[in-house]
Structure 1
Amino acid sequence: MSDTTIRTGAEEQTSERLREETEESASEREQECPECGGRLDADTEHGETVCAECGLVVEEDEIDRGPEWRAFNPSEKDEKSRVGAPTTNMMHDKGLSTNIGWQNKDAYGNSLSSNQRQKMQRLRTWNERFRTRDSKERNLKQALGEIDRMASALGLPKTVRETASVIYRRALEENLLPGRSIEGVATASLYAAARQANTPRSLDEMTAVSRVEKMELTRTYRYVVRELNLEIKPADPESYLPRFVSDLELSDDTERRARELIVSARDQGILSGKSPVGLAAAAVYAAALLTNEKVTQSEVSDVANISEVTIRNRYKELLESVDAPA
């Protein structure tokens, strides 16, 4: 290596060190009083930067980015937090727009006059019009309303509604709606989301709360799953047991016995080709008989929304699978 190369590298290191020292000295000067060189302190109460030695006010009217309240424990901090609601896929605008309440009262709780009520009604009308800018958003608003209505009727949790909203948004973006009804795609999205979350509902239950026929629901569901490549496992009869047992007010022993019957039937290969809802209802009825709990086939049929004939046929098969040799 030549002397020129060595000298050049040493010069670069020296210049880099000088630059760093210059920046450090500049930052130190920023923390010093320009008059006496004293230490600067930030007075957050008055929004000022003051010299601790001579009292010179270096900066004033600073923006206080902290809260205007004090909290002495985590619970008070959470209660006094003034952030808005989190964004959600359950609303067409993800909850970011303004919503005018339906109460005809002012900020003090006093009722509005008739003229003020008319003005507020006009504001609500125009606010609803402005929230949906085009046909796509109107479509999404109607569909998400349908999903929320059906999920409430079926007792599905919020996570299922969120998932169903995401599935419908994907279907809308993939242009899968032409030729199909909004209610049909919304019901299919909710049915798929419930199965993905292991809280399935039967097709009959979905049809009871939906505005579409069962045939349209099954056809639309298969189309949406195929086009969006949704990974949905076959419905497991065990996933229906907790709901049936709870609706029938049976004991935990009955639920545990019903699970044992389904596991035994699965080992014997009886579950293949059978309706999971019928198997779950039959397992609950058979388990209730084995644990000496009083429940009729009619009661189980009403809860599971299947015929009594199906229960009789399936529960006999389940009992035979238990008696069958391993």
Structure 2
Amino acid sequence: MQCPSCGSNAVIRDGSRGEEICTRCGLVLLEKEMDSRPEWHAEPGKKSGRADVSSGSDITQHDLGLGSRLGYSQDLSPAWRSKLRRLQKWHRRSRAVSYHDKSLRQALINLDKLCEDLTLPKSVKAEVSILFRKARKKEITPGRYTWSVLSALIFIVARMRRMPRTEKEIAKTLSRYSSLEEKGALRALRRVRKILAKELDLEVPRPKPREYLDRFVSRLNLPDEIRSKAHEICASIPEKFKSKKASFLVAAGAIYNAARKFESRVKIREVADILDVGVSSLSKTGKQIRKFSAYF
């Protein structure tokens, strides 16, 4: 860095004061700079220091995880622990004072429940939190059911990250936490998904059948040889056929045909019930796969 006053390159940085100073003319180029590095301090009697154990910024929290938390020791008396628990309750309430903060906090709590039921990682929850904040900023969420908006965003992010979650799975989870029936939840999910994808300018890719294979085989408790054969059958199916059928239905048909190849005792109704597909649809798709696939 060059000093704008004297043109000297003898600029040093004082980390303790957060300043950058020219050693030739004494000009302070930068002051009160924030140090983003983790905090270290040495413990008594030890040479090495330890890092700050704070969680840092967390987009899945309404206050980004920067709010203070009140704790207490179990060594205290029951009376003191009771007092501190009441203080903790009021402290949590004071972290969200305005209606905007309270509604955002409740929405993120609901999001945590949905992600937990759908066994989605925290990275998906973080991305959904970012998109939900953008939707609130663009005033897309007012007047819409929060559960439906969160479920639609989960569906979009899962598709974008190639995580196999079907519409029916998300709709079932939505109906479990809302007053909607499963069919109504599915309609609401599709309607809100289209609105969010358009308003937030998101491209939702079409899933591929192979993305569902491993998960479906695990749910059916089938051996690895059937898993490998299902992948081979799925790869041999023409792309034109796979583009016309639902991806999860093609994956279910490939698994059923692979199980038949190994003479497994898996019944078509068991496969349909576990994978939540229709028996007639699965039977028809399985016959078409046997017709188009090179393995039959």
1:89 paired to 2:59: yes
Q: Name the counterpart of 1:192.
A: 156
TM-score (ref. length: structure 1): 0.71
Q: Structure 1 pair 300/68, CA: closer, same or farther in 2 (3 Å)?
A: same
Aligned residue runs from structure 1 range 93-112, under 5 A: 93-100=63-70, 106-110=72-76, 112=78
Q: Structure 1 pair 294/133, CA: closer, same or farther in 2 (3 Å)?
A: same
Structure 1 residue 26, shift from structure 2 partner: 11
SS at match of 1:294: coil
- The count of corresponding residues between Structure 1 and Structure 2 is 257
Select the residue among 230, 236, 257 that pairs with 1:258.
230
Unaligned runs of 5+ in 1: 1-14, 28-64
Q: Name the counterpart of 2:293.
A: 322
Aligned residue runs from structure 1 range 1-326, under 5 A: 67-69=41-43, 70=46, 80-100=50-70, 106-110=72-76, 112-113=78-79, 117=82, 119-210=83-174, 211=178, 212=180, 213-267=185-239, 269-323=240-294
> How many angstroms apart in 2 are the aligned matches of 1:124 and 1:252?
50
TM-score (ref. length: structure 2): 0.77
> How many angstroms apart in 2 are the aligned matches of 1:131 and 1:240?
41
Contact 1:250 1:293 in 2 (8 A): no
Q: Structure 1 pair 68/261, CA: closer, same or farther in 2 (3 Å)?
A: same
Contact 2:233 2:295 in 1 (8 A): no
> How many angstroms apart in 1 are the aligned matches of 2:253 and 2:76?
58
Which structure carries more helix by proportion? 1
What fraction of aligned residue pairs are identical, expressed as a percent? 26
SS at match of 1:128: helix
User: Cα deviations across residues 81-116 of structure 1 (Å, max 9, x unaligned)?
Assistant: 333013221111111112346xxxx42444522x75
Structure ID, larger Rg: 1
Contact 2:96 2:102 in 1 (8 A): yes
Unaligned runs of 5+ in 2: 1-5, 11-21, 27-38
Amino acid at match of 1:144: L
User: Cα deviations across residues 45-67 of structure 1 (Å, max 9, x unaligned)?
Assistant: xxxxxxxxxxxxxxxxxxxx852
RMSD over aligned Cα, in angstroms?
A: 2.9
Amino acid at match of 1:232: V
